[in-house]
Structure 1
Amino acid sequence: MFADPTGGRFPGRSQVGQPDADGAIRLTDSDAALARYSAVQKHYFNDPFIRPLLSRGAQYQPPRPPLINVGTYVRSEAIDSLVNEWLSLSQAEGKKCQIVSLGAGSDTRFWRIATGPQKDVLASYIELDFAENTTKKAMAIRKSRELSIPLGKPEDIKITHCGSALNSSVYHLVPADMRLPPADTLPPLLCPKGQPGILSPDLPTLLLFECVLSKSSTILGGVVYEMFGLNDSFGRVMLNNLKARNVDLPGVEPYPSFQSLPSRFLNRGFDASVALTLKQIRTTCISSEELQRISHLELLDELEELELVLQHYAITWGLKLYNRERGLNAAWNTWGLKPYHETREDEY
């Protein structure tokens, strides 16, 4: 069966009428965690925080094939670049920012930021996912020193909602079903009665994967990692294999082509949006030295299949600027993945 080669998640997607359809969705998080751990084992990148989030015995599974490791690497490098630049722009402006990750699952990005040079730029980092996933993650955080220490003092870490929610000074883990209207489900979680809200309308805010915040008074960005082009022969194979796992993809239906991807943001009032396939990112946004390094990590003989896979995934980012009179446009308009200014042949 064709597995998601880049370890992707499909939050809030299921087939109606399937027994425990959400179980199939939650399983994609295990796939994503194992794919990331596999890439770490093969030295594509370093992530000391993924192992504590793995299920028991998962670290003893064999590494994923090179095709999956390369896809995981390209996706991670691209999103990391967008997030790091967002933090840098906020820092240059002299203010903190907030990040909301929807369908976060076993993602480790908060810990990588919280132990890095830009940790003080974060005002809030919020992760939302199914209650089953957030309960599992909250438990892993409590058991792991690597995960709990970056959250702050033990007395400042609160477990609520029967163990499915966790709140600290900066990091917040929130259970939510994103198929339900955000206005009905999120306010009690993000703005508890009698307490200050977790999110501020005055700080630059970056949304990862899905766009659910509709009102802000500052700068709003969104990053979506998604499949597309599932109408060709290769795309239909990918789609059918996912359906065999009881995972449906209604989110890709309104955006079937590469050209349609920016409209996800532009049709909702964002000022700018750009999409790049993982194939484009790999060949234009990663340096020759880095491509040369990963080319020596594993023998990859499925080059044609790698190309087909990478051109069916894309990262799309959108930017919404408020308070234009403040003169922020020039700096924030530069946010996005940057091509390396060099001409090269495909090196892997």
Structure 2
Amino acid sequence: MAAPSIPNLLGRLGNGPPRAGRGGRRGLGRGSGLGGGLHSGHNPQLRGGIPRRLDHTGIIQSTDTDAAISRMSAVDIGLLEDPFAQYFAGDGGGPVPRRLPIINRGTYTRTKCLDKIIRAFLSGGAVADTTPPSSPRPEEPTEPPVRQIISLGAGTDTRSLRLLALRQQNGQAEFQNVVYHELDFPTVCARKRNIVQSIPAIRSLLKSPITEYPYSGEDGSAKVGTNTENRSWHAELGLGNSLWAHGLDLRELATTGSGNPTTFPGLRSDVPTLLVSECCLCYLQPPEATGVLRWFADRVNAPSSSLGVVIYEPIRPFDAFGRTMVANLSGRGIEMPTLVVYPDGATQEARLRQEAGLSQAKHQTIDQIWKAWVADDEQERVNHLDGLDEVEEWELLASHYIVAWGSKGTYFDAAWAQLYEL
């Protein structure tokens, strides 16, 4: 694969001319990419390259535009189903670009993998029957326990809306009692709130008006108010499901220290919790990334709680392909300081055990996930919709991205049992 043509699974940021899409989309512009970015932010300047004055934080925020357009490309083709993607992709100025097949396949595989892990987490407690053998069986299914998801650098990702809006064939909600937190920069958090409030198809999901919370006080306590500096918002979606969005720089968490009581509204310390970092922690300095993991590990620590972590990041920066990949990203202003510290699956697993205090950890590359987690008939469907000519190039690229996951606590025994070969 020639070096100049190497795409990346984080977000393309100008990797060659995109193919024309099908129809315009309303909503905020987000970039492109085979799998998407991390933090969010609409920055049309990036369409022509990296602006000279755009700092690293701004570049990171802008990669989320790549994620949304890549997701919309996969939806347009029929690879993914996402009724909300259209509201976060495109700027109303024309068609959303269609990505190259290698980008679309990466978006598909990454999305399906993380969806499967998260759904296994949400289903784990529901399928586990804890009734003692000598006790009478309940006549009706036990209501599922409260579970908490925390998505770092969520940007304008639609996963929270998709999961909380899922319905079974009988019309009942797929999941109940889910507390979903999204963290990102304050401007990104506010922008997502505006979309949720302004789009009828999304607003109709809400069972209560959005409530805004400004941070106040040294201990991070929050009070309801109308200050324009509000940094969190919250909405109920019924059946115990709720969505929280918190506007803050994750580096603030990394510098508080384990003894600092700083927190944010709605965070539970006493329920099973899954922490999701989808191309997020890799953009922090290694001590900062460690600090974020430990911040949550310190707070989700009640005797009744369990903690899981799932991370999606690039790996293998030292081989020929990896060096070129890093150089290409650097040329676009993107730096990933943790990549050289956690360059492979073994170091990623050790990271989860040592830094997050997890008792078990596993990993697979995107290439392995495509081959082992995606059924043969589904692979045929994807190939039919968006055929890939250069299979070797795909395998090489996909082997440089990894999903690592781990946990501590008994809740995850049932949850992880549902995953492939776990």
TM-score range, shorter chain: 0.7 to 0.9
Distance 1:120 1:61, change over 3 A: closer
Residue in 2 aligned with 1:334? 417
Q: CA deviation at 1:146?
A: 2.0
Residue in 1 aligned with 2:37? 9
Q: Paired residue for 2:308, among 221, 244, 267?
A: 221
Aligned positions of 1:1-348 closer than 5 A:
2-5=6-9, 6-11=34-39, 19-57=54-92, 60-93=95-128, 94-117=144-167, 120-154=175-209, 156-158=210-212, 162=229, 164-169=231-236, 170-182=242-254, 184=256, 190-191=264-265, 198-209=266-277, 211=293, 212-215=295-298, 216-217=301-302, 218-268=305-355, 269-321=357-409, 330-332=413-415, 334=417, 337-339=419-421
Compare relative contact order (CA 8 Å, sep 6+) and give the higher one, 1 or 2.
Answer: 1
Q: CA deviation at 1:90?
A: 2.4
Structure 1 CA distance for aligned equivalents of residues 361 and 79 of structure 2: 29
Distance 1:310 1:188, change over 3 A: same
Unaligned runs of 5+ in 2: 10-33, 41-51, 129-143, 168-172, 215-227, 237-241, 282-292
Aligned length: 323
Percent of aligned pairs sharing the same letter: 30
Deviates more, 1:17-26 or 1:67-76: 17-26
Q: CA deviation at 1:136?
A: 1.8
Q: Is the 8 A contact 1:18 1:246 kept in 2?
A: no
Q: Is the 8 A contact 1:90 1:121 kept in 2?
A: no
Q: CA deviation at 1:40?
A: 0.4
Residue in 1 aligned with 2:24? none
Counterpart AA for 1:33: A
Distance 1:235 1:68, change over 3 A: same
Counterpart AA for 2:378: E
Distance 1:129 1:104, change over 3 A: same
Structure 2 CA distance for aligned equivalents of residues 252 and 292 of structure 1: 33
Structure 2 CA distance for aligned equivalents of residues 59 and 259 of structure 1: 44
SS in structure 1 opposite 2:406?
strand
Structure holding more helix per residue: 1
SS in structure 1 opposite 2:229?
helix
Structure 1 CA distance for aligned equivalents of residues 371 and 157 of structure 2: 25
Q: CA deviation at 1:338?
A: 0.5
Structure 2 CA distance for aligned equivalents of residues 140 and 266 of structure 1: 38
RMSD of aligned residue pairs (Cα, Å): 2.6
Structure 1 CA distance for aligned equivalents of residues 111 and 199 of structure 2: 23
Structure 1 CA distance for aligned equivalents of residues 243 and 125 of structure 2: 18
Structure 2 CA distance for aligned equivalents of residues 199 and 119 of structure 1: 23
Q: Stretches of 4+ moved more than 6 A in 1?
A: none
Counterpart AA for 1:259: A
Counterpart AA for 2:264: L
Structure number with bigger Rg: 2
Structure 2 CA distance for aligned equivalents of residues 125 and 174 of structure 1: 11
Q: CA deviation at 1:129?
A: 0.7
Structure 1 CA distance for aligned equivalents of residues 205 and 211 of structure 2: 11
Distance 1:58 1:132, change over 3 A: farther
Q: State the TM-score, normalizing by the size of structure 1.
A: 0.85
Q: CA deviation at 1:182?
A: 4.2
Q: Is the 8 A contact 2:314 2:400 kept in 1?
A: yes
Unaligned runs of 5+ in 1: 192-197, 341-348
Q: CA deviation at 1:23?
A: 1.4
Structure 2 CA distance for aligned equivalents of residues 199 and 59 of structure 1: 40
